[in-house]
């Protein structure tokens, strides 16, 4: 089994913690900005809920993806997966990308799998595996 995703702890807890620490420093340093700080904290909560908690941990095992996400763990065949996007996200450091995989058939309420790739070179390998699995399904 090969791990495709990097650890998600930094994106779920590290970045929001930096925002909270930054807000605390601003409150102490400049009391004039006090009314703005609650809006910053609301932004942190939105970030945690909308972005950080949607990330999954992903492994590939032959022609099957093993996914551990916010709504539990499941396995899905690569023939039911499409690589939708590999773009960079606003919240990530420069050059960091996020993969978005679409599912032909939703697993529960999950229609897309989002993860931060562990290696820079996995896009081509993952795309080739998905293409081969989808081509074999059509035969």
Distances (CA, A) of 74 to 9, 61, 95: 20, 13, 29
CATH pick for 2-138 out of 3.30.450, 2.30.29, 2.40.128, 1.10.3470: 2.30.29
What does the alpha-carbon distance between residue 79 and residue 132 come to, in Å, rounded to a whole number? Answer: 8
Tens of pLDDT along 30-58? 777 677 777 877 777 777 777 788 889 99
Helix (H, G, I), strand (E, B) or coil at 113: strand
Tens of pLDDT along 83-132? 888 776 555 555 567 889 999 988 888 899 999 888 877 888 888 899 99
Query: What ranges in 1-139 are assigned the alpha helix state H?
Result: 9, 15-29, 37-46, 122-138
Which burial class, exposed, middle or buried, applies to 135 when counting CB atoms under 10 A from its CB (0-12, 13-18, 19+)?
A: exposed
On whether the pTM is more than 0.85, the answer is no
């Amino acid at each position: 089994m090969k791990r495709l995703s990097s650890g998600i702890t930094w994106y779920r807890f590290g970045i929001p913690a930096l925002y909270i620490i930054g807000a605390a420093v601003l409150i102490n340093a400049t009391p004039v900005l006090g009314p703005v700080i609650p809006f910053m904290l609301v932004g942190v909560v939105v970030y945690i809920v909308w972005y950080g908690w949607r990330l999954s941990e992903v492994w590939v095992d032959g022609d099957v993806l093993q996914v551990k996400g916010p709504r539990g763990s499941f396995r899905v065949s690569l023939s039911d997966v499409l690589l939708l996007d590999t773009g960079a996200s606003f919240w990530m450091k420069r050059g960091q990308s996020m993969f978005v995989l679409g599912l032909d058939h939703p697993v529960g309420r999950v229609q897309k799998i989002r993860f931060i790739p562990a290696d820079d070179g996995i896009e081509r390998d993952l795309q080739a595996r998905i293409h081969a699995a989808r081509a074999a399904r059509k035969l």
